[in-house]
Amino acid sequence: MKREQIAPHLVRLTLGGPGFETFVDKPVTDRYIKILFAKPELGLTPPYDMDELREKLDMQDLPVRRTYTVRSSDAEAGTIQVDFVVHGDEGLAGPWARDAQIGDTVCFSGPGGLYYPKEEFDFHFLVGDETAIPAIAAALESMSEHMRGVAIIEVSAAEDEMDLKAPAGVEIRWVHRNGAFTPENTKLESVVRDYPWPEGTVQVFSHGEREVTKKLRGYFYNERGVDRRDMSLSAYWAFGRAEDDFQAEKRSPVGQIFEEAPLQRS
């Protein structure tokens, strides 16, 4: 395991070693893995036998799953890179990534994912906050030189910007909240709405905070008429919700970006 501080609030871990041979890569740019985290005070050692642990531990002490995007993979080296948003001691995965050491063991499943920028579209919208940077960066790097589009990314401040590789025809716009996210200071939706709507067919990737993603769904789908099959929209987190509450709400109306599951183009 290798740890790098790539931005004030982003830590990159390089994961590899015994067991990596079971990782089967996917030709998509929103690849994600589900990492199991256990309470440090319990002294559990991965890999975890969840069936055995369910017999021994109370429900609240079981390892919990957190979903993270694979920033890149290197089959020859037998490694993947995963970026974590870290805000002090907030949350479970962020502090773990901040304190991770070479030799630490991690237990995860995956990858999953469906999206990648397709050649047949005239324009590509890539939209998100800090949590979407790994997937947006991977998408930009996969795009051929003739592709056109824009990546609009909201971060806390200018120092959170990163150098991203993109084709000449794809603009990168950084949006600064000037602080931690709140419903009052987020500017992402307004910046997206102000961007001149392009001609031709449009493919959309929009991921991040849940309520912002819902508003952008309304813009892209209801107002601009983008086909649902041409959009990848998902909430990575929800303001004011603990991770476990957020995950549980995904199965309820408040947690759904669409009223029903969106269609996927083959």
Classify domain 121-249 by CATH number: 3.40.50.80
Quick one: tokens of 165? 């590789």
Beta bridge partners, 16, equal: 79
In the chain, domain spans? 1-110, 121-249
Report the pLDDT value the prediction gives residue 265, as an integer from 0 to 100: 45
Residue 63: is its pLDDT beyond 50? yes
User: DSSP 3-state assignment of 156?
Assistant: coil
* Cα–Cα dist 165/52, whole Å: 45
- Give percent of the chain above pLDDT 90: 67
* CATH number of this structure's domain 1-110, picked from the four choices 2.40.128.20, 3.40.190.10, 1.20.120.420, 2.40.30.10: 2.40.30.10
C-alpha distance from residue 102 to each of 8, 15, 70, 74, 109 (Å): 21, 9, 19, 18, 20
The percent of residues above 70 in pLDDT, for the chain, comes to: 97
Sign of CA pseudo-dihedral 238, 242, 248, 253: negative
Count CB-CB contacts under 10 A for residue 218: 12
More confident residue, 71 or 39: 71
| Max CA distance (Å), the chain | 59
